[in-house]
Amino acid sequence: MNTPEFDLLIKNVRVVRPHGNVVHEADIAVKDGRFAQVAPGIDPTRAKAVHDGRGQLAFPGVVDAHMHSGIYSPLAEDAVTESKAAAIGGVTSSLNYFRTGQYYLNKGGAYKKFFPEVLKISKNRFHVDYGYHLAPMDRTHIGEIPMLIDKHGVSSFKIFMFYGSHGLHGKSDSQREFLMIGEDERYDLAHFEFIMRGIQAAREQFPDKARQISLSLHCETAEIMTAYTKLVEKDKSLSGLAAYSASRPQHSEGLAVFIAAYLANETALPNINLLHLSSRKAVQAAMMMAEVFPHIDFRREVTIGHLMLDTTSKAAELAKVNPPIRPREDVEFLWDALLSGELDWVVSDHACCRQEMKIPRRYFGNIWMAKSGFGGTEYLLPALVSEGTRRGMGYNHMARVTSWNPAQRFGLNRKGDIEIGFDADLALVDPAKTWTIRAEASPSTQGYTPFEGLELSAAVTTTFLRGMKICENGEVLGQPRGQYLHRPTA
């Protein structure tokens, strides 16, 4: 009797690839964790195991390129529970922003000591493949950029533009203490410039990796936000999400985009990612800068939260996030920009913040006392398919913005497509299954979701990671099997 040549055969699916504009009916064969054949009518006797896809859509596994594991809960806990949440949503690669300072490990110091601890805690805990973007918080970190690229496979870095004189949740007068940087350090525009020079020097040092070494920026302007927060707090006509949006106005994003773009041009750093653009003014500023500096390869990100929620959301302070949830006219502009190809990828910006930490009971209704950020990686793909389909977005376009584009940008060269030789990461989606989001159904420890009660018309039924079934019908299977993504990957 012949030994089967494939480890797994997924029969009867509609294959969604990130290129073109058609969906093909086919079977998908997997061997040694990689896609081995994609074709109709593959003989099931050629495989050791067969999974019937029942005519569902087969998307490339989602690359959620903006997550925060270990920000509000210990990394050892978040790595397990929040990667389970990712898995049930069809996410197979989790890229997490991390830094020194308060929150995360609550430590300062050099990355040569700090980051190995992060990797040690992470090992054997993630249910999906994972990697990290790192933020250079002081001069020492800038000097460590080549080491982080070469030794640890960190090819993407971050600047929080508003941390200069504004805290994570609001105005702050103790930034050095919060960031855990030395008395002679400043987290300001000059520091941002020197980060850019350091990354560009590293790109020149590693020309074979340079295409996939990039810098991401959280674009908000601290001085404007601090001034507007004082004004809005006194204005009793505004409350909740509308007040928070007004306190961090849209032009604060636009101005920060202009500054970031000019510094990128000044430092000759071509790979710039503008994170979680939340407003018309931010997107318009980003498009203007792309015209002014055509030699800069700007990529523009949007979150599923900014696409699905607006300032009238019943979630109120539970939906507090930076940059803020915006009025409906901004949400509609983001959708128009996404549909016209002006936004490059969609992410969750998942930051699990349990309700007792997010907003203590005695502060219910007080937007200023709530922490910023919330989880939602498990709703990224089904919400995009549901709302995107309603708005005429093609499945292939969805695959581009959830898988291919972030994989290519961030150095995941075997992720993002259903292509022979690529990692066999798949999300099977039933595009005709109506269901209602309930936080209690998620393995996340958050315990609530700002998306509570939203009715979706598509559901992820099965998730495969490198050919292993890690989730089916909302149940995560087996022990954590996620591997660290040393980027750029081969």
Whether 104 is covered by a domain: the verdict is: yes
- For the chain, how many structural domains are there in total? 2
Q: At what angle are helices 145-152 and 189-205 packed, to 10 degrees?
A: 40
112 with 19, same domain?
no
- With CA atoms as reference, report the closest residue to 146 among 207, 202, 204: 202
Tell me, what CATH number does 43's domain have? 2.30.40.10
Per-residue pLDDT of the chain (490 residues; tens, 9 = 90+): 679 999 999 999 999 999 999 999 999 999 999 999 999 999 999 999 999 999 999 999 999 999 999 999 999 999 999 999 999 999 999 999 999 999 999 999 999 999 999 999 999 999 999 999 999 999 999 999 999 999 999 999 999 998 766 666 666 556 778 888 998 899 999 999 999 999 999 999 999 999 999 999 999 999 999 999 999 999 999 999 999 999 999 999 999 999 999 999 999 999 999 999 999 999 999 999 999 999 999 999 999 999 999 999 999 999 999 999 999 999 999 999 999 999 999 999 999 999 989 998 888 889 999 999 999 999 999 999 999 999 999 999 999 999 999 999 999 999 999 999 999 999 999 999 999 999 999 999 999 999 999 999 999 999 999 999 999 999 999 999 999 999 999 9
Q: Are residues 120 and 30 in the same domain?
A: no
Indicate whether 276 belongs to any domain.
yes
Q: Token digits for 457? A: 């018309």
User: 17 and 146 in one domain?
Assistant: no
Is the Cβ–Cβ distance between 135 and 97 less than 8 Å? Answer: yes
Q: What's the pLDDT score for residue 260?
A: 98
Residue 488, domain member (yes or no): no
Q: Do residue 21 and residue 72 come from a single domain?
A: no
Residue 280 domain boundaries: 65-412+433-457
How far apart are alpha carbons 463 and 381 in whole angstroms? 12
Q: Are residues 232 and 331 in the same domain?
A: yes
Helices (H), 168-295: 175-179, 189-205, 222-234, 240-247, 250-267, 280-292
Residue 483 falls inside a structural domain: no
Identify whether 48 is part of a domain.
yes
Does any domain span residue 462? no
Residue 410 class from Cβ within 10 Å (0-12 exposed, 13-18 middle, 19+ buried)? buried
How far is residue 30 from each of residues 5, 12, 211, 479, measured CA to CA in Å?
A: 9, 14, 29, 21
Report the b/e string of 102-114 with b at 16+ CB within 10 A: bbbbeebeebeeb
Looking at the fold, whether 38 and 73 belong to one and the same domain comes out as no
The pLDDT value recorded for residue 381 is 98
State whether 79 and 48 are in the same domain: no
Q: What's the pTM?
A: 0.97
Is residue 237, in this structure, part of any structural domain at all?
Answer: yes
Query: Any idea what the CATH number is for the domain that residue 364 is in?
Result: 3.20.20.140
Asked if 195 and 133 sit in the same domain, the reply is yes
Asked if the structure places residue 424 within a domain, the reply is no
Residues 254, 251: Cα–Cα separation, whole Å:
5
